[in-house]
Structure formats: structure tokens, C-alpha cells
Amino acid sequence: MATTTCIHCSPAGASRPRAGSAGAGRALTLVATSLGLAVVQLDVSVVNVAIKPIGASLGGGVSALQWVVNAYTLVFAALILSAGALGDRIGAKRVFVAGFCVFTTASVACGLAPALGVLIAARAVQGAGAAVLVPCSLTLLSHTFPDAQERIRAVGLWAAGASAALSAGPLVGGCLTAAFGWRAIFFINLPIGLAGVALTLRWAAETTRRGDRAVDLPGQAASIAALTVLAAATIEGGSRGFAAPPVLVGFALALAAAVAFVVIESRRAQPMLPLRLFRNPTVSAVALIGLIVNVAFYGLIFVLSLFLQRAQHLSVLDTGLAFAPMTAAIMLANLLAKRLAAATGPRATIAAGAALMAAGAAALLGAGGGAGPDTPYVALLGPFVALGFGLGLIVAVMTAAMLGAVDRSRSGVAAGVLNSARQTGSLIGVALYGALIAGAVWWAGCTWRWRSRWRWRPASRSRAPACAADAAGAPGDARRLGLGRWPAVAP
């Protein structure tokens, strides 16, 4: 996922950078802000390949492990719009350093976590730090590089580093986990955080404070409530069934919180999400595309990580290496997207990227009913490359389309909207796809019993005995999931 950027605007009322930030100082400020964004994007994807070792070490089923990924993404998505306003109000440098400290401390807490609940809580705190780092790093860049052309080059380097970190996350996570254990994927953030804080304190200039910039606390509370309840209801749907009363109540509460958020934002003088932006059809379409694309891609990454390790029994390192062609495809597509969009237009490029992703997902289904434990890696390589290349085309072009659809003075807000939409999509994707595979073994058992002319009656999970998913009796769907066991259904 490439990070959405604002390359045209400087903070209103900001002073010129101090003389010490010229030359090498300005370059080191760029390094500091790039480290902040890169470490945030790395932690979006690095955890996926370590899910199995984390579960083996701390316990927990698929539903619990989903929260290791989603706790970070949920808080990140919910707070990113308000974090920019906080930086404007009390100074972007001050808030950026505080965010780096929070993120780094939470990373250490993740690495030391003695139980799954502690890890999930620390991941949520990580997400809060990440939400601060993204908008404030961009504000500091705009302040450090007041010249438009210099700012364009600086932001290009800043975004390229983040894109590389995000794409390389599965490979980095696999290498670190294989060499030092899963806790290393969090401890690696400590030296990065210390370097980022030191460089920022030494070289970055503080921005002008804007006391009139309000933080939308009611809207923030409503957005957190809506995202949290939506994720929880979706995850529980995998274990209880999506028609279970508690799950339906959860979806109803999420809808109520979302409606409350819209009402609050429509009445606020300084809303965290200006609803009038969505009167622009391009903004509305791009935000929706960003959400849908992230639902599909990051949901698949979560599931594929489990599949490669549980069904195909790959090591953590081999799993990271298996994603390397996808990583390369994303980066290559990012480089080619601008030329392709100039030749064919942004709509055609986005449509081509979406078609490639759809083709890759369809290819994973396979002619024989789906990829399974015996599927050779070469059969997965094409779908992986198609998914990565399609994502790279879409993200690069829709980012440019979003920023080009609004006035330059609103580019920062538009960038925040797209980032928030995409992080929300990641949250929903991991929750939904994880819920589907959590319930798939149960459903496969019901289907097999029905086809075998047994009476279809799903047994209680708490009382039903479990039998091995082997060739003697388990359906193919259960074996392909590689989840080991599936509940029997009483006749």
C-alpha cells in the first residue's frame, strides 16, 4: 500500500525553516520523517507472516489472532484524521516526537508481551502512535521544504520509502522471525524509533501553532465506537455464525455509531471528516475504491499467510520468501503506473489493476476447487504477481486522482480521507476473511454430512466431539484450510 501524500500544500501560518535545517539538516529531517512513515507501514504488514508463531507461543485461535493485526489497524484508522489537527494545534514537531516515543515504547511492550491480551493492547497503542506519525511527518516535510519543486522531490522519496517498507513487510517479518523469533519483528522498531526521535529533535524545525484548530472529540469517539464494534461483530460472526443474535446486535450498534458520526460531522464547525468533500464524485469514488481494494488485498494476505504455514507447512522464512514476487510486482507497478495512466487515462488504469487483482483471486480458486496442501508454489506464483501488480497500479493512480480532484489547500484533508478509508478497508478485510476461514471448517463439515445423507444439524461447538481432518472422512474444504480439526455433526 502506497501512502497517500499532499505535495502541494504548506501549513497555513507556518514559519520558514531555521537556518540550521538547510543543506544536510534538511536532508536529515527528510530521513527522520521517512523513518517515521516507513516504520508505520512496515508494521501494517510485517505481523502477518508471524501469526502462526505468535499463536504457538501465546495461544489463541484464528479469532484472537485477528485482533493482533486489527488492534493496530483499528486505532490507526480511527485516529489519523484527528492526529493532524492535534499537530496543527500544538506543533507538528512536538506531536511527531511524542508519537514516535509512543510507537517505540509500544513496540517494546509487544516484544515483551507475556500473553496474547497484552500483545493486543500494546498493538492498539502502537496504532495510536502510527496515527500521529503519518500526518505530522508530512507537515514537517512541508515546513522544511517550502519550495514547491523541492517539496515534490522530498515527498516522493518519503512516500517511496514507505511503499518499499510496506511491500517488504512479509519478507522482513519472515527473515526476522526465522532468525530471532517473532518478538524480533517488534524489537527492530526500537533502534529505528531512537534514531527518528534523535534526528527530529536535532534537525527538524517546529511549526507554527494554530490555537484555533479544534480537535473533534465527539466525532472521534463515534468513529472509534463504529470501527471497534464492526470489527468485533465481524470476527465473532466467524465463530458464532453471522445470523447469531449477538452478532446482529453488534452490526446494529456499529450502524448506529456510524450514523451518529455522520450527524456529528455535519454539525461541527471543524469536523475531523468534512462531509462536503464527498460532493465531489471523484473523491467519493476513490475513497470507496481504496476501501474495497484494501478489504480484498489485506484480507487475502492474512488468509494466505495462514494457508502457506498451516496447509502447506512452509516455515516462516519460506512464507516471507513466497511473498517476495508479490512485493516486487507492487514496486514495479508503482513505477509504471504514472506512464500507463498518462497513456490510457486513470480510469482505464484503475480498471486494469482491478481486473488483474480479480484474475489473481480467481486463479487461486483453481480448476480443481481451490489451492490445497499439494498445490505447487509455481501454481501460486502467477496469482501472487497478478494481485501485487494490480494493487500497485490502483494505489498509485487513485492517490494522484484524489489529490488532483480537490483544491491544493484541501490536499492534506483529502490525503487523510483516503488513508483513513484504506486503513478501514484493511481492518474489515482481516476481520471478514478471518471470520470466513474460522467458520469454513464448520461449514465444510455440515456440507459433507448433508451430501452423505446424514441429517443436517450443526452440533454445539462446546459439546461436539472433534475428529481429524484426514482423507478417511473430512471434506476437501477442511483439508485445504489446513486448520487441523473440524467439529463433527451429530446425525
The pLDDT score that the predictor gives to residue 118 is 96
Q: Are 241 and 439 in contact (CB under 8 A)?
A: yes
Which of 49-53, 196-200, 324-328, 416-420 comes out lowest in average pLDDT?
A: 416-420
Rounded average pLDDT over 437-447:
49
Q: Is the pLDDT of residue 445 over 80?
A: no
User: What is the Cβ-side half-sphere exposure of residue 212, based on CA atoms within 13 angstroms?
Assistant: 3
The pLDDT score that the predictor gives to residue 483 is 41
The string over 249-272, giving b where at least 16 C-beta atoms fall within 10 Å of a residue's C-beta and e elsewhere, is ebeebbeebbebbeebbeebeebb
Q: Are 417 and 23 in contact (CB under 8 A)?
A: no
Rounded average pLDDT over 97-116:
96
Question: What pLDDT, in 10s, does the model give residues 132-157?
Answer: 898 888 788 878 887 767 776 787 77
The pLDDT score that the predictor gives to residue 468 is 34
d(CA 7, CA 83): 19
Which of 153-162, 182-191, 286-295, 299-308 comes out lowest in average pLDDT?
A: 153-162
Q: Is the pLDDT of residue 209 over 80?
A: no
| 204 backbone φψ class: left, alpha, beta (φ>0; ψ -120 to 50) | beta
Highest mean pLDDT of the ranges 153-167, 194-208, 244-258, 265-279: 244-258
The pLDDT score that the predictor gives to residue 243 is 85
Rounded average pLDDT over 48-77:
87
- SS3 string of the chain? CCCCCCCCCCCCCCCCCCHHHCCHHHHHHHHHHHHHHHHHHHHHHCCHHHHHHHHHHHCCCHHHHHHHHHHHHHHHHHHHHHHHHHHHHHCHHHHHHHHHHHHHHHHHHHHHCCCHHHHHHHHHHHHHHHHHHHHHHHHHHHHHCCCHHHHHHHHHHHHHHHHHHHHHHHHHHHHHHHHHCCCHHHHCHHHHHHHHHHHHHHHCCCCCCCCCCCCCHHHHHHHHHHHHHHHHHHHHHHHHCCCCHHHHHHHHHHHHHHHHHHHHHHHCCCCCCCHHHHHCHHHHHHHHHHHHHHHHHHHHHHHHHHHHHHHCCCCHHHHHHHCHHHHHHHHHHHHHHHHHHHHHCHHHHHHHHHHHHHHHHHHHHCCCCCCCCCCCHHHHHHHHHHHHHHHHHHHHHHHHHHHHCCCHHHHHHHHHHHHHHHHHHHHHHHHHHHHHHHHHHHHHHHHHHHHCCCCCCCCCCCCCCEEECCCCCCCHHHHHHCCCEEECCCC
Q: Is the pLDDT of residue 313 over 80?
A: yes
What are the two backbone dihedrals, phi and then psi, of residue 270, each rounded to the nearest 5 degrees?
-130, 80
415 beta partners: none
What are the two backbone dihedrals, phi and then psi, of residue 30, each rounded to the nearest 5 degrees?
-60, -40
User: What is the Cβ-side half-sphere exposure of residue 111, based on CA atoms within 13 angstroms?
Assistant: 19
The chain-wide mean pLDDT, for the chain, equals 79
447 beta partners: none
d(CA 434, CA 446): 19
Rounded average pLDDT over 447-461:
37
- What's the pTM value of the predicted model, to 2 decimals? 0.76
The pLDDT score that the predictor gives to residue 44 is 81
pLDDT top residue among 341 and 142:
341
The pLDDT score that the predictor gives to residue 473 is 38
d(CA 354, CA 389): 10
d(CA 55, CA 48): 12
Q: Is the pLDDT of residue 251 over 90?
A: yes
Question: What pLDDT, in 10s, does the model give residues 220-241?
Answer: 899 999 999 998 888 888 778 8
% of the chain surpassing 70 pLDDT: 80
pLDDT top residue among 13 and 40:
40
Rounded average pLDDT over 230-254:
88
Considering only CA atoms, which of 99, 419, 421 is closest in space to residue 291? 421
Cα 275 from chain centroid? Answer: 23
pLDDT top residue among 64 and 264:
264
Question: What pLDDT, in 10s, does the model give residues 459-473?
Answer: 344 333 333 333 333
Rounded average pLDDT over 238-257:
89
358 by Cβ neighbours in 10 Å (0-12 / 13-18 / 19+) ranks as middle
pLDDT top residue among 21 and 90:
90
Q: Is the pLDDT of residue 380 over 80?
A: yes
